[in-house]
Every structure is written in structure tokens, then in C-alpha cells.
Structure 1
């Protein structure tokens, strides 16, 4: 992560996941709110989406761990340098540990929804643990750094711990669309802020470097963080309104007779799945 690309990559991942969550939860809420929209989704379809999501998170986490270990200057699974008597590339190990817990969350989600042998709330609990671990690692990741470097990472902690708290509340209030959309917006905030950190600490060629000891830069970057949060909330709002409009338009185009037949078919499929 000690480069612009190293911050842009996880930033892009959190952006994609945040947009996916915003669209998924908006769609599920829109179909639940409209009783006549039951034919647009089913328990079986929801389980398939959860399985795909869990498998995707697990895959990207494994790729992240391998990248941290086997890049050109990676530790290659060596934790301690016995010749120099010091720990070997602990930053890479911390990042790999962060990916490990998101991989565990993806694997548990895959198990919960593919087999049905684990409690349903376990996926949200492990997701909360993954976010908390990410924040915990970043909290002790900043020793000896410049003032602005520390500040931009401390601001990142708000979105990380906020995501952990929101996911934990979902363990007890599953299906609460406000919590789900808040989690999506905090994930988007985390994604855009990773990109911002990349521009501040590792500006691409052609961009002026930031003075990491200037207090006015700290004031601006704090205000910029609030703008990022506003943009993430706006993005979730746009996705929510768009999904609700699409669902409503689909319902208007579906004839009543066809809707009744589809609802009957869906009920039969759900009964088979339950058996």
C-alpha cells in the first residue's frame, strides 16, 4: 500500500462493494415494500446473490493476501529476518492480515448461504469483525509518520469503525434498510478516501506534492472528508431512487394476469427450496 496504486486498488474494491450493497439492499427493500413485486425476487435468488457475493469477497481477499506477500519487495511468507535480527516488512503483513479477516467474512457468508448449516446472523458478525480488525490494524499503523499522513489515516478510521458498528447492529436488526444503506455509504466513503489518501501522500506525476507539516492542509483535508461523506450519501440516494423507479416501472409494464402466474410460480419454487 505504500504507493498510489496500493491505495487506489483497495479504494476501488470498497467503491464497487459499496455500490453493490446500495443497489442490492435498495432492490430488496423496494420489492418487500411492494407486495405485487414479489415475483421480481425470491429466497432462492437472494441466497444465490449472497453466495456470489461471499465467493467474490473471498476471492479478492485471497488475491490481496498473495499480492502483499509476493510483490517484488514483499516478504514472501518470511516474518522474521534472522540475519538482520528484525521483523521483515511488517506493513505487508498487516495489510495481508486485514485481507485475511475479510476473506474469513466472505468464507463464512459463503458457508451460511450455500449450506444453511450455520446461524444466519453469523455473516454479519464476521463482517463486523473484519471491519473492526481493519480499523484496529490501521490504528497502530501510524507510528513515526508525518502530521498530515497520520491525520488522513485517522479520518479513515471513522468510516471503518462506523462500518464495523453498523454491521454489528445488523446482527440484531437484520433487514433494516437504514442500517444496510448506512453501511453501503460508509463503505463508499472508505473507498473514495483511500483514493484521496493516494493523491495526498503519493501524488501521481504532474501533481504538486502536499506539505505534510502544514496545519492549513489538515484543516482542508478535514473539510474534504466531510465532502466525501456527503458525496457517498448522495451516491447511495441516487442508487436507491433509481432502483425504486426501475422496480415501479417494471410493475407497471407487467399485466395483472402474468403477475399472478409469476407469483404462483415463485411460491412453488420457494416451497421446493424449503423442502
Structure 2
């Protein structure tokens, strides 16, 4: 969608998912001790098995497709009566959402009825990022140099997400790779907003000169600032989540330590320090 909303919707989607991932990582490290502990109560076990993340991704994908198709005129038309292509931008965005929806669907299946499918989650995540990058790489044909440069920065962030998601196929427990994926997913989201603001809603009210070399150079600097701010935001969210969990969120929840798949010791996190 060639509008501010068309960039704000996917931007919001990636921001929300990245924030969810960093909170989930904080919970995994602070409460579950990187998988060495698991909840004892049935309620917590059900919440662990519930495909919350997958549902969030599917909802975002469906919402994005609905918004794209509702905006286009005529709705859901690929070729008009004259044999000409219609809504090329909208169909491209819908293709991106479709693959992320597929990723969410695979995660849902793996978390519910077919656990063996879970091993393919990272592969479908990498596929979704690769399709997104492919679509946006060819998204700016015939546009101004500034528009092309803005989207090239987006493609760079997508490429890093793809590499990290692909790395998780072979190293699913590597926290550093996961953090890189989370960071650049967040950068994608904030950059979508930045792109939409520059092209469609500049704060000054004046459209940026698409041929001005200084605008292009400062766009590069802005992108590096997005990375730095993203690192700071994720750090604050991560530390805040761990602090809340340790101070008040998990003191009454019982967990058990596991060793080679067997329960060995029932503990109460932060609830018993008498030993």
C-alpha cells in the first residue's frame, strides 16, 4: 500500500512481535533457567503449550491482508477486464503477510497436534524473511533515489533477520543469534514507520527532495540510530521483565528442575531461601 498506513501496519506488527520475543527470552532465562526448569502447575503448563506467539503472528498476518485488500480498488482483483495487472503493491504486501501467516500456522501445529513439526519452525521463519526481502528488493523500480535508499536499508534489516533465522535452524539454543533476530525485527518495525513518515507524513509538512544527496546520506545515519535505539529499548525491556518476574511475578509459582528429561527436585522460585 503506497501510504503511511501501508507502512505503519507492518511496522507495528514487527515491533509487537519483537517486544514479545524479548519478554519471552527474559522469562526463559529468569524463570525457566534456559530450559532446565519447567512449571509444575497445570495452569502454567497449559499456558506453556498454548500457541500464543503463533496466534499473534497469524492475527497480524490476517489483519495485514485484510487492510491491504480493503484499501485496494477494486478489492481482490489481480487482472481487470482489460487484461491489465491491478494492485501490484497490495498483492506484494499480501504475499509477505501470507508467508508470515504460514510461519505462524506451522508454529501452531507444532505446539498443538503435531509436535514433530516444531523442528521446522526456524526454517519457515527464515523462509518468511527471505520472501519479504525478495519482494522489497524489487519494490522500488522507477522510484526516486531517496525512496530506493530508504527501502534498501529495510532490505538490509530483513537480510540480517533471514541470516539469523537461518542460523537458528542449526543452533536453535544460541541466545546471541536469537538476540540478533529480535533486534533487527524491531529495527524493521521502526524503520517501516520512519519510511512512512519520510515519504508520506514528514513532520515539517514539506515533502523531502528525493534527489537531494544530503537527504540520502542522513537516511543512512538515521538507520544506524535505529539500531542503537533498538538495542537500548530491548535492553530496558529485558531487564525490566526480569526484575518484575524475580520481584513479584514468580515467587508463588512452583517449578521443577529437569535433568535428561527426568524431574529431580521440586523448587519454589524465590520462595524458599532457608537452605
Structure 1 length normalisation: TM-score? 0.84
Query: Contact 1:11–1:194 (CA<8 Å) still a contact in 2?
Result: yes
1:234 is displaced (CA, Å) by 0.8
Q: Tell me, what secondary structure is at the counterpart of 1:263?
A: strand
Query: Contact 1:29–1:177 (CA<8 Å) still a contact in 2?
Result: no
* Counterparts of 1:123 and 1:181, CA distance in 2: 17
Residue in 2 that maps onto 1:65: 65
* Aligned pairs (5 A) from 1:13-162: 13-33=13-33, 38-39=38-39, 44-48=46-50, 51-71=51-71, 73-83=72-82, 85-162=83-160
Alignment: residue pair count: 259
Q: Tell me, what secondary structure is at the counterpart of 2:139?
A: coil
Q: Tell me, what secondary structure is at the counterpart of 1:217?
A: helix
Name the one with the larger helix percent: 1
What are the superposed Cα offsets for residues 5-62 of structure 1, whole Å, 9 maximum, x if unpaired? 21112111111111111111121022243899755996653322xx121122112212
Cα distance change, pair 238–64 in 1 and its aligned pair in 2 (3 A): same
* Aligned pairs (5 A) from 1:187-206: 187-203=185-201
Residue in 2 that maps onto 1:222: 220
* Counterparts of 1:226 and 1:174, CA distance in 2: 27
1:199 is displaced (CA, Å) by 1.1
Cα distance change, pair 223–34 in 1 and its aligned pair in 2 (3 A): closer
Q: Tell me, what secondary structure is at the counterpart of 1:121?
A: helix
Query: Contact 1:74–1:92 (CA<8 Å) still a contact in 2?
Result: no
Q: CA RMSD in A?
A: 2.8
Cα distance change, pair 58–207 in 1 and its aligned pair in 2 (3 A): same
Partner of residue 263 from structure 1, selected from 243, 255, 263: 255
Query: Contact 1:68–1:74 (CA<8 Å) still a contact in 2?
Result: no
1:4 is displaced (CA, Å) by 1.1
**Structure 1 unaligned regions, length at least 5:** none
Deviates more, 1:55-64 or 1:143-152: 55-64
Residue in 2 that maps onto 1:175: 173
* Counterparts of 2:182 and 2:105, CA distance in 1: 20
1:187 is displaced (CA, Å) by 1.0
Cα distance change, pair 29–264 in 1 and its aligned pair in 2 (3 A): closer
1:161 is displaced (CA, Å) by 1.3
Q: Is residue 11 of structure 1 aligned with residue 3 of structure 2?
A: no
What are the superposed Cα offsets for residues 99-158 of structure 1, whole Å, 9 maximum, x if unpaired? 110110111110011113433221111111011100100011111000000000000011
Q: After TM superposition, where is structure 1 displaced by more than 4 Å over at least 4 residues in a row?
A: 34-44, 264-267
Cα distance change, pair 265–240 in 1 and its aligned pair in 2 (3 A): closer
Structure 2 length normalisation: TM-score? 0.84
* Counterparts of 2:54 and 2:255, CA distance in 1: 28
Cα distance change, pair 264–96 in 1 and its aligned pair in 2 (3 A): closer
* Counterparts of 1:40 and 1:16, CA distance in 2: 29
